[in-house]
Amino acid sequence: MGMTMTQKILAAAAGLEKVEAGQLIEAKLDLVLGNDITSPVAIKEMDKMKVSGVFDKDKIALVPDHFVPNKDIKSAEHCKCVREFARRNGITNYFEVGEMGIEHALLPEKGLTVAGDVIIGADSHTCTYGALGAFSTGVGSTDMAAGMATGKAWFKVPGAIRFHLVGKPGKWVSGKDVILHIIGMIGVDGALYRSMEFTGDGIHNLSMDDRFTIANMAIEAGGKNGIFPVDDIAEAYMKEHSSRPYRIFTADEDAEYDEEYTIDLGALRPTVAFPHLPENTHTIDEITEPIAIDQVVIGSCTNGRLDDLRIAAEVLTGRHVAEGMRCIVIPATQAIYLQAMEEGLLKIFIEAGAIVSTPTCGPCLVTWGSWPKENAVYPLPTAILSAVWDM
């Protein structure tokens, strides 16, 4: 049998002609990512290993984005630990507050992730970079430490599920709706330790922001990674953002998949994940009773990109946040923040009664002052924009 996209990337990184599902391999890493929560643990593990420095100061990215703005002394100490480690080891890709962003939006924007890469990150949503045809996956802090020290990691080669996308999404249907539909269909463990491989003509109707969102949430279905083929849209993105060479891998025609699904993008409807699991999905048509919501966050590593802000601004233009509601808008990076300002989007948000924050993962992790109150209805970021305004 042939190999999937993921299997071909891993084989190349391991110096092997062929790999198969379940095989244990040691692969070279193109990038190791850590943030201000996971990196301090990895740094302490490196200290125990008594290694002299990192394997390559240009192939490590450290992004303080979870505990910023610092909520207390302990969180400030976490960030200080990462800052001092970066300085001590001359880490090229250390992004301090003011230049940072939410890591999974920032790294592609900075050109640090390209097709064919093998990337690990001590954050579960590291699978985001599969949108560019890379193999990227989340790991624990100990694996991050070993990766920073050696430039290598052990993997069990995953099997794969193929999602064949056809058609064109309708208005208000985005990448978030696509992946929520899939998670609702297969469940939060439906792709457990398997690669979620997206194929089909429908991909061309998805923007890069859509693809980043879909790959980002592969972990919410238990996936080891999510990955897209590299087309002209992905190549244009990489050429705009990166000067690094990239390698395009395509699945063999006889690649083996555990399961295959066809998704008609044109048949999808805006979809919401209800508490308390992402698989508890409902389309907007299935929500028959009004739901009182205390707070809406438009942001996160899944939905803080420019497309998301433009859509939110379109909804909020000429409207106002409902009485008693808090609406928090968080551009995912400084560049997105600046572009949103230049396009007048921030003015729309502020006039609508929303607040605009510096890039941060804080609301998702509840490490930033955004939790409304005990027992409040607090939807996942951008879960239901229709609740934001006074009708």
Distances (CA, A) of 338 to 108, 297, 355: 17, 19, 15
3-state secondary structure of 33: strand
Average pLDDT over residues 242-249: 96
Name residue 264's beta-bridge partners.
Answer: 166
Q: Which of 106, 111, 29, 24 is nearest to 65 (CA)?
A: 106
**Residue 282 burial (CB count, 10 A):** 16
DSSP code of residue 232? H
Average pLDDT over residues 303-331: 92
Helix or strand holding residue 106 (H, E): helix 103-109
Q: Which residue has the higher pLDDT, 389 or 225?
A: 225
Looking at residue 365, its pLDDT comes to 73
Give the whole-angstrom CA distance, residue 196 versus residue 216: 11
Looking at residue 383, its pLDDT comes to 40
Q: What residues have CB less than 8 Å from 70, skipping those under 6 apart? A: 76, 79
Question: What's the CATH code, domain 5-264?
Answer: 3.30.499.10
Same fold, 5-264 and 289-387: yes
The structure's pTM equals 0.91
Q: Residue 76 is encoded by which pair of tokens?
A: 């400030």
Q: Are 29 and 153 in contact (CB under 8 A)?
A: yes
Q: Residue 329 is encoded by which pair of tokens?
A: 């808008």
Helix or strand holding residue 291 (H, E): none
**Given a cut of 70, is residue 305 above it in pLDDT?**
yes
Looking at residue 371, its pLDDT comes to 53
Looking at residue 368, its pLDDT comes to 60
Q: Which residue has the higher pLDDT, 32 or 365?
A: 32
**Given a cut of 50, is residue 284 above it in pLDDT?**
yes
The domain 289-387 is classified under which CATH number: 3.40.605.10, 3.30.460.10, 3.30.499.10, 3.40.47.10?
Answer: 3.30.499.10
Q: Residue 35 is encoded by which pair of tokens?
A: 């943030």
Q: Could you state, in order of their start, the residue ranges of all structural domains in the chain? A: 5-264, 289-387
Report residue 390's pLDDT band, with 50, 70 and 90 as the boundaries. very low
Q: Are 361 and 66 in contact (CB under 8 A)?
A: yes
**Given a cut of 90, is residue 170 above it in pLDDT?**
yes
125-160 pLDDT per residue, tens: 999 999 999 999 999 999 999 999 999 999 999 999
% of the chain at pLDDT higher than 70: 93
Give the whole-angstrom CA distance, residue 67 versus residue 300: 14
DSSP string, 306-367: HHHHHHHHHHHTT--BPTT-EEEE--SBHHHHHHHHHTTHHHHHHHTT-EE--S-SHHHHT-
Average pLDDT over residues 174-182: 95
Looking at residue 306, its pLDDT comes to 93
